[in-house]
Every structure is written in structure tokens, then in C-alpha cells.
Amino acid sequence: MNTNSAEILREKGISPSVQRVAIYDYLMTHFTHPTVDEIFKDLSPSIPTLSKTTIYNTLTLFLEHGLIDSFTTDDNTAHYDGNVQSHAHFQCSQCGEIYDIPMPKTEAPQLEGFEINGMKVFYYGICEKCRKKEI
């Protein structure tokens, strides 16, 4: 159990179970925007008692406490992101890989009667690796 992750969870009022610490550690070291299935596939060999329900519930808890972020891609797949700093995403239309990219400097519009709490920017196109394959 990573004591640093356990301490971070405790600071947020979350009891640091073995499963929760493993999932948090995974998101802090795998910036691949994994799905529940990917997290399960990677962690279940070392934690045989882990279930997809536990992963889903843990991710929901982390989201509620602001420890992680999530987004849904066009195919309605939920992805989870351990990087909660301001950034945008880019998804390659050929390989499907999702990349973190610096957030463009924009200000939220002033909309009368609305309260803006956040913004997500998602770009689509062809990544550098796939473009090199075309050449």
C-alpha cells in the first residue's frame, strides 16, 4: 500500500482500503485515460477480490471528492483521468488513443443567469504516430 496515496485519501475523508489505494495509485501512474474494464484487467491479477463494481464505486467516490476527473468519448465510453490540472484532450480518429494537451487560454463567457463551474475541451484528429504511418 502506497502510504502517500493512503494519506491523500485520508485527507479527503476517504478510508484507504487496499482496493482504493491500488486504484488511486493506478490513476496517478497511468495517464492513459483508462476505462473501468482496463483498470480491472490490469489490477485484478494482483487483487483477486477486486470487482468491476468496486472499481466503479471507487471512481465515483474519487470524482465526488475531486481526486480525479472523467469524460465520455463519442462511443459513450467513460474514461478516468488522474490529472485534475487544467488541460484539454485530443483523441486520434485512427488509433483511438487519447492525449493530454495544454489547455488553451480562454475565459468563460459571462452568461446572465448561469453559473459556470468548469470547462472541458476535446479535440479530434490524427495523432503524430498515425500521421507518420501515412507518409
Q: Are residues 74 and 96 in the same domain?
A: no
Q: Are residues 107 and 66 in the same domain?
A: no
Tens of pLDDT, residues 4-55: 999 999 999 999 999 999 999 999 999 999 999 999 999 999 999 999 999 9
CATH code at position 41:
1.10.10.10
- Given a contact cutoff of 8 angstroms between Cβ atoms, the answer to whether 36 and 52 are in contact is yes
Q: Are residues 9 and 71 in the same domain?
A: yes
Q: Are residues 32 and 52 in the same domain?
A: yes
Question: What pLDDT, on a 0 to 100 scale, did the predictor assign at position 106?
Answer: 75
Structural domain span for residue 96: 87-134
Q: Are residues 20 and 76 in the same domain?
A: yes
Q: Are residues 63 and 98 in the same domain?
A: no
Instruction: Pull the grid cell for residue 57.
Output: 464505486
**Domains: count for the chain:** 2
Q: Please give the Cα distance from 83 to 86 (Å, whole number).
A: 8
Question: What pLDDT, on a 0 to 100 scale, did the predictor assign at position 86?
Answer: 87
